[in-house]
């Protein structure tokens, strides 16, 4: 497994946060706090517990939506990749879904499903699912035919070919689809809280902006980005655990 | 009596019975005729090469024997049983190796046995034996991308040997391997045919390679695809591996095959 050196990681963090701090001190805008102010606000919210209460709300649609998108997205993607008829039937749906301007569709969702959890889960799914489905189906369709032929010649059943050849061969692209889908799901969760009902982290962002408490607003944004990064790192660990060969290059390169 | 037998032997050695018979096989891909009414016998325990210019259908024929492609007409029999699809009596070695990049050498070699439902400890013991046979001891835990082209094909060969099929089908196995490794492979093939008592069917486009390793060479010609001649070298097959390339018959056969193939090479 390749490791990026800790020094480089720290250095890049230092450069980004340093630039933020300098931009905040100039200041580029009165609505743009320095990095240290934002961190202070984050610490304050952590100490009085507001941030945990907020995440309790935000994570509900996020986790449910991402879980649905991952399970159904990979399932549908496999099916679409394996069956031409199913591809013909369902691929356009997800292509349209990916291209649709989601913010414009939110009022429609609210009319149909109200302002509760259901609408928010839908928003997360609409954001996360298409890229997972399209990546999975594309990867399945592009399984090297010589590997399938090899398995068939060594007496693999159709089930063996799917489980032992197609899924492992597609797994790097499936996981990159999951990463993109989950990032989009985070965007969807916050979008839902900004556009439907202000709850959780979306509420902190909306409220602190309305009272001009910009450090808190940026602290909330920072925390959601940090959470997304941690989540994606965990996903990468899972991938490396499940498919040890994935980060080792390819036999035919 | 003895004398006649011996002189007869000298003129024509006794050909063992066929392990694989191909009878009147035809195959079309849309408008392209890959094979037309092709018949060929593959003697048991020997290595037969399918040699010909590209596009003469030699890989198609090999895949029909493997059961990976269905012929439009005609029969293939392996040990008297008609081929309907892939079977445990045949194992395939692929031109591009077709190794699993996410699996180490041990799992790759044992993959054929894994698909047959052999228990893990048993199949790994068998795989280790064949990894040793092909000279890859110490690389059991390596992944394919960490190996050279020659070593990857040794993995492919070990995988085919591990399932203990009577017939080995090799599709240009050394064409993606560098020249020096290829020579080593060819020498190893001679020993393998001697020791393994299996029937080898070997597709190649290299005349020298075909003559060097084969007990029988089937020269295939395109337009329409057919077997133009079957050559059985007699004098150098039992010689030491290093002396074959100096044998006059070896050189004569190469010249003869080239003379018949040269008109078909663009």
Domain boundaries, chain A: 35-244
Q: Is the pLDDT confidence value at B10 over 60?
A: no
Angstrom distance (rounded) from CA B197 to CA B167: 10
Mean pLDDT, rounded, for B233-260: 85
Provide CATH code, domain A35-244. 1.10.3720.10
Alpha carbons A232 and B85: distance in angstroms, whole number = 45
Which pLDDT band holds residue B9 (cuts at 50, 70, 90)?
Answer: very low
* Residue A183 contacts residue A126 (beta carbons within 8 Å): no
Q: Which of B105, B151, B140, B143 is nearest to A245 (CA)?
A: B143
Contacts of B152 in chain A (CB under 8 A): 251
Q: Which token pair is B236? A: 């150098």
Tell me how far apart the alpha carbons of residues B20 and B26 are, in angstroms, rounded to a whole number.
Answer: 17
d(CA B244, CA B242): 6
Mutate to test the interface with B, among A1, A144, A149, A153 (most CBs of B within 10 A): A153
On the question of pLDDT at B260 being above 50, the answer is yes
Pairing label, strands B216-221, B47-51? parallel
Angle between helices B179-196 and B149-162 (to 10 degrees): 20
Q: What is the pLDDT of residue A67?
A: 96
**What are the backbone dihedrals phi and psi of residue B57, each rounded to the nearest 5 degrees, phi first?**
90, 15
Query: Is pLDDT above 60 for A108?
Result: yes
Rounded to a whole number, what is the largest CA-CA distance in chain B? 63
CB-CB neighbours of B173 under 10 Å: 25
Question: Nearest Cα to B94, choosing from B199, B170, B203, B185?
Answer: B170
Q: Is the pLDDT of residue A253 over 70?
A: no
pLDDT band at A245 (very low <50, low <70, confident <90, very high): low
Q: What is the mean pLDDT of residues A163-192?
A: 92
* Residues of chain B that touch chain A, judged by Cβ-Cβ distance less than 8 Å: 66-68, 86-88, 90-92, 94, 96-104, 111-112, 114-116, 143-146, 152, 159, 163
Among B62, B65, B100, B112, pick the best mutation site for testing chain A contact (most A Cβ within 10 A): B100
Token couple for A94:
């997800």
Fold for B16-89+166-255+261-265, please state it: Rossmann fold (3.40.50)
Alpha-carbon gap, residue A239 to B48, rounded angstroms: 45
What residue spans define the domains of chain B?
16-89+166-255+261-265, 100-164
Reported as half-sphere exposure (CB side, CA atoms, 13 A), residue A53 has a value of 8
The stretch A61-86 carries a mean pLDDT of 94
What is the per-residue pLDDT across B78-110, written as a single tens digit (0 to 9) for each?
998 999 999 999 999 999 999 998 899 999 999
Q: Which residues, in sequence order, are bridge partners of residue B49?
A: B202, B217
Q: List the one residue out of A118, A103, A71 whose CA is nearest residue A188.
A: A103
Say what the ipTM of the complex is: 0.85
Task: Supply the pTM of this predicted model.
Answer: 0.81
């Amino acid at each position: 497994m390749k490791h990026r050196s800790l020094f480089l990681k720290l250095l890049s963090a230092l450069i980004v946060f340093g630039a933020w701090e300098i931009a905040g001190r100039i200041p580029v805008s009165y609505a743009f706090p320095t990095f240290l102010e934002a961190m202070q606000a984050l610490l304050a919210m952590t100490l009085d517990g507001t941030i945990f209460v907020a995440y309790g709300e935000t994570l509900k649609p996020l986790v449910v939506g991402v879980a649905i998108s991952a399970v159904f997205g990979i399932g549908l993607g496999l099916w679409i990749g394996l069956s031409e008829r199913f591809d013909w039937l369902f691929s356009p749906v997800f292509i349209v879904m990916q291209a649709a301007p989601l913010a414009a569709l939110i009022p429609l969702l609210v009319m149909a499903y109200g302002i509760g959890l259901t609408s928010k889960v839908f928003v997360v799914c609409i954001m996360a699912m298409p890229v997972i489905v399209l990546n999975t189906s594309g990867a399945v369709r592009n399984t090297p035919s010589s590997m399938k032929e090899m398995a068939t010649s060594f007496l693999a059943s159709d089930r063996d070919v799917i489980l032992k050849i197609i899924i492992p061969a597609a797994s790097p692209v499936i996981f990159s689809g999951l990463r993109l889908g989950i990032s989009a799901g985070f965007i969807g969760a916050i979008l839902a809280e900004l556009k439907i009902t202000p709850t959780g982290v979306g509420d902190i962002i909306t409220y602190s902006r309305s009272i001009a408490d910009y450090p808190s607003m940026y602290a909330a944004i920072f925390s959601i980005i940090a959470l997304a990064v941690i989540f994606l790192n965990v996903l990468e660990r899972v991938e490396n655990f499940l498919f040890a060969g994935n980060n080792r290059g390819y036999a035919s390169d | 009596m003895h004398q006649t037998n011996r002189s007869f032997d000298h003129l024509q050695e006794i050909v063992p019975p066929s392990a694989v018979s191909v009878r009147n096989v035809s195959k079309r891909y849309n408008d392209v005729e890959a094979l037309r009414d092709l018949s060929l016998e593959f003697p048991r325990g020997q290595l037969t090469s399918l040699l010909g210019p590209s596009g003469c259908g030699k890989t198609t024929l090999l895949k029909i024997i493997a059961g990976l492609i269905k012929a439009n007409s005609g029969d293939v029999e392996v040990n008297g049983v008609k081929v309907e699809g892939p079977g445990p009596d045949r194992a395939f070695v692929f031109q591009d190796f077709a190794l699993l990049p996410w699996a180490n050498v041990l799992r790759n070699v044992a993959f054929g046995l894994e698909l047959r439902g052999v228990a893990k400890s048993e199949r790994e013991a068998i795989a280790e034996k064949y990894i040793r046979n092909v000279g890859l001891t110490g690389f059991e835990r390596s992944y394919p991308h960490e190996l050279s082209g020659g070593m990857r094909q040794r993995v492919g060969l070990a995988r085919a040997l591990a399932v203990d099929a009577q017939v080995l089908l090799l599709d240009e196995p050394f064409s993606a391997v560098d020249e020096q490794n290829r020579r080593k492979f060819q020498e190893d093939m001679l020993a393998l045919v001697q020791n393994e008592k299996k029937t080898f069917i070997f597709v190649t486009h290299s005349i020298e390679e075909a003559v060097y390793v084969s007990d029988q060479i089937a020269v295939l010609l395109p337009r329409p695809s057919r077997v133009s001649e079957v050559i059985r070298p007699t004098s150098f097959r039992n010689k030491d591996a290093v002396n074959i390339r100096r044998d006059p018959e070896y050189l004569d056969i190469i010249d003869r095959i080239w003379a018949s193939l040269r008109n078909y090479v663009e």
